Structure 1
Amino acid sequence: MDKITPIGLLLAAVAVVGGSILKGAGAGALLSGAAFMIVFVGAFAAICIHTPPATLKHAGGILKWIFKPPATSAEALIAELVEWSNLARKQGLLALEPAVETQSDAFVQKGLQLLVDGSEPDVLRSTLEVEIDAREHADTAAAKVYESAGIYLPTMGILGAVMGLMAVMQNLADPSKLGAGIAAAFVATIYGIGAANLFFLPAAAKLKSVIADRTRLREIAVEGLVGIARGDNPRNIEARLRGFTH
């Protein structure tokens, strides 16, 4: 569980709401149903137009990674690969078959199965690298959905502000409504810029970091499994894999 992200979100809320109170506007000044509709529904509409359904669904699935990233312990994986290397060196590749059944990571399980089935090192590497590229592409495309939201939201905020000012201009004959009307118009700008810079853009960056860590872990797995397939010395495999952790 990532404890920093919830703290960051709490501080973001405190910054906006606390700032509004300290400036004398009050927390209630930040509430506007019309601004919410224009900014968030408008931005979501734009995302729906340019994002394939499968990518949009995947984006919803990986959002939890900003709070609880998938386990990516390089040290644990390296230790496991070295253990498998020693076992294969002493008893042969078929001795790794029980590990296939107990492996929880689907990618590593697939690599182990290819190894046990006697795949050549080049075939093993090329097969797994194709899967790495495909998974990284899909995950990155999903992360870019939040990046796109961070781009659309400020623009929608400006649109909301302009629409609010248009409503104000229609009430120029009544000065008592001008102050409140102008304040409400700029709430949309706050929604757009605040949501983009305090959540969506940071979330996209966090997701890309998690994806990079997952890719690196899979590259370690590939290098280790190929080394086992080639019959490399376990110590040499470990030394090579340690290079990924620097």
Structure 2
Amino acid sequence: MDIATIIGIVVGLGFVIMGIMDGGDIVSYFNLPSILIVMGGTIAATFVAYPMQKVLEAMKVVSKAFTHKQEDPGDIIHKIINLANIARKEGLLALEEASESVNDNFLKKGVMLIVDGTDPELVRNLLETELAFVEERHKNGQGIFEAMGAYAPAFGMVGTLIGLINMLKKLDDPSSIGPSMAVALITTFYGSLLANLIFLPIANKLKLRSREEIQRKEIMVEGLLSIQAGENPRIIEEKLKAFLPPKVRETLDHKQEGVGANG
């Protein structure tokens, strides 16, 4: 569970509600027609802009913004080094048995390509092609939420215009102008809140998750090709650490020193 996403939404809503309560009644901020205009219009525009299947897939992908089950890059490097040691001692064919303990399908596929004696250039092309399609699928999900973040304020303005039109029809009743204006502006409030607290932040979180996954798969590709080339496991380790930020490298080094000391 990614607690940061939940905390961000809850805290954001909390501060908005506190601001509302400080100057008025929260019940007055609830307006069903405004909600229907913003939510209905945003959803409808999204279905117009994207195929239904893509939208439904994006709704499933949104769970990644609330969960954090992705494997640490350091653990991936550790697995690749273990595979490199096996290949160095027992040969590439021994990797077939070792791959049975590999849970990641992408890594397992790469290992089996190596075991089958596939040309290194073809291995790289196959894995990088799959990597490109993964990235493209991620971009589709991100794009849908970015689009919803753009549509919501726009339909908020549509609702405001509808409210203003209705208000202008009642100009002969001065007492209705204030309440009517308030209702008209509530629609813009809903659109801005949904866009800036829900849709756009989720799109950015999905971008971050995508970059993390692509980085892990790039580490796998480089590691597998290095194993196939017969490089020394220590050299492979140093090469793969180059993908990591300095602080993460230091943490990984400390872990390995601890393991070495215990061993």
- Corresponding position of 2:15: 15
Q: What amino acid is aligned across from residue 242 of structure 2 in structure 1?
A: G
Alpha-carbon separation, structure 1, partners of 2:74 and 2:88:
21
SS for the counterpart of 2:171 is: coil
Aligned Cα root-mean-square deviation (Å): 1.2
Contact 1:55/1:138 (CA < 8 Å) preserved in 2? no
- Aligned position for 2:186: 187
Q: Which runs of 4+ in 1 moved over 6 A?
A: none
Larger mean Cα displacement after TM superposition, 169-178 or 103-112: 169-178
Q: Is the 8 A contact 1:72 1:213 kept in 2?
A: no
> In structure 2, the residue corresponding to 1:245 is in which secondary structure?
coil
Shift of 1:177: 2.3
- In the other structure, the counterpart of 2:2 is 2
Q: Which runs of 5+ in 1 are unaligned?
A: none
Q: Give the drift of 1:175.
A: 2.6
- 1:144 equivalent in alignment to 2:143: yes
Equivalent position of 2:261 in the other structure: none
* 2:233 counterpart residue number: 234
Alignment of 1:27-42 (within 5 A): 27-42=26-41
**Partners of 2:131 and 2:26 in 1: CA distance:** 47
Task: Work out the percentage of aligned pairs sharing the same amino acid.
Answer: 35
Give the Cα–Cα distance (whole angstroms) in 1 for the partners of residues 170 and 98 of structure 2: 74
Residues 72-120 of structure 1: CA deviation (Å, up to 9, x unaligned)? 3100000000000000111111211123333221111111111221212
Distance apart, 1:176 and its partner CA: 2.8
CA distance in 2, matches of 1:30, 1:118: 66
Q: What CA deviation, in whole Å up to 9, does each residue of 1:159-215 have, x standing for no partner?
A: 101101111112222233222211111110000011111111111111001101100
Q: 1:70 Cα shift?
A: 3.9
- Structure 2 letter corresponding to 1:136: E
Which residue of structure 2 lines up, in the alignment, with residue 206 of structure 1?
205
* C-alpha contact 1:120 1:229 (8 A) present in aligned 2: no
Query: After alignment, is 12-21 or 174-183 more displaced?
Result: 174-183
| TM-score after normalising by structure 1 | 0.96
Corresponding residue of 2:43 = 44
Matches within 5 A, 1:1-246: 1-24=1-24, 26-246=25-245
Report the Cα distance in structure 2 between the residues aligned to 1:63 and 1:99, rounded to whole angstroms.
34
Residue in 1 that maps onto 2:258: none
Which amino acid is the alignment partner of residue 18 of structure 1?
Answer: M
Report how many residues are paired: 245
Deviation larger for 85-94 or 95-104: 95-104
Q: Which amino acid aligns with 2:213?
A: R
User: Structure 1: which amino acid aligns with 2:71?
Assistant: T
Task: Name structure 2 gaps, 5 residues minimum.
Answer: 246-263
Letter paired with 1:106: N
Letter in 2 for 1:19: G
Q: Which moved more, 1:113-122 or 1:215-224?
A: 113-122
Q: Distance in 2 between matches of 1:243 and 1:189?
A: 47
- What's the CA shift for 1:17? 1.5
